[in-house]
Structure 1
Amino acid sequence: MDVGEAPEFSMTDSGLKYRILRKSDGKKPKADSTVTVHYRGWLNSGKVFDSSYERGETTTFPLQNVIAGWTEGLQLVGEGGMIELAMPSRLGYGERGSPGSIPAHSSLHFIVELVNVD
């Protein structure tokens, strides 16, 4: 993270809240980019439901194949940067949730380090 206090959250027209925790002038992904990231995701309760940090390895995926909040949010940060995302359920897993880990209608929170953009 950058030194100093974390910035306030900004909000996009879709309702995605975000704040840049580590600025970067690196390449920003587009919706059709493939990215490599380190991340932690948690629910409003604070319960972590997924973490590449805990697995000890980054993960790579096409941005167009993930939840809408990730596709939108990762385009706001450059390669080498870090962003915190807070999204309403409609930008996450919505009314279906993700069985076994994310209840239906859950707001989601993530810290994401953008390691690489292809």
Structure 2
Amino acid sequence: VKVHYNGTLIDGTVFDSTLKKSEPTTLIVSEMSKCWTEGIQQMKAGGKSRLICPSNLAYRDKGMPPLIKPGATLVFDIDLLEVVTKQSTP
């Protein structure tokens, strides 16, 4: 999928964002966190969604120090720009 997103801690601290960059990012659904996988599957291209991801569906007890502490709840505002399907090769 091709997305723009803004990732924040529950207190609003931004830890990651494609909005400051000129290009969206392309992600593989099967490689996303469980929260993203479940959320993206409910969306259509052109849709926007806010995912509130408890730690058990995100980075769990590991976090991603120093910004994301273990057990942190994360918030993602996502613009799903495009669904890119895997092309079969002849």
- The TM-score, its normalising length taken from structure 1, stands at 0.68
- 1:1-118 equivalences in 2 (<5 Å): 35-118=1-84
Whole-angstrom CA distance in 2 between matches of 1:56 and 1:40: 14
Matched AA of 2:27: F
Matched AA of 1:80: G
Deviations 1:47-105 (A, max 9, x none): 00000001232000111111110000011110011011111110010100012221110
Deviating beyond 4 angstroms after TM superposition, the runs of 4 or more aligned structure 1 residues are none
Whole-angstrom CA distance in 2 between matches of 1:117 and 1:89: 26
Q: Unaligned 5+ residue runs, structure 2?
A: 85-90
Counterpart of 1:53 in 2: which secondary structure?
coil
Q: Unaligned 5+ residue runs, structure 1?
A: 1-34
Give the length in aligned residue pairs: 84
* RMSD over aligned Cα atoms: 0.9
Q: Quick one: higher RCO (CA 8 Å, sep 6+), 1 or 2?
A: 2
- The TM-score, its normalising length taken from structure 2, stands at 0.89
Whole-angstrom CA distance in 1 between matches of 2:20 and 2:55: 24
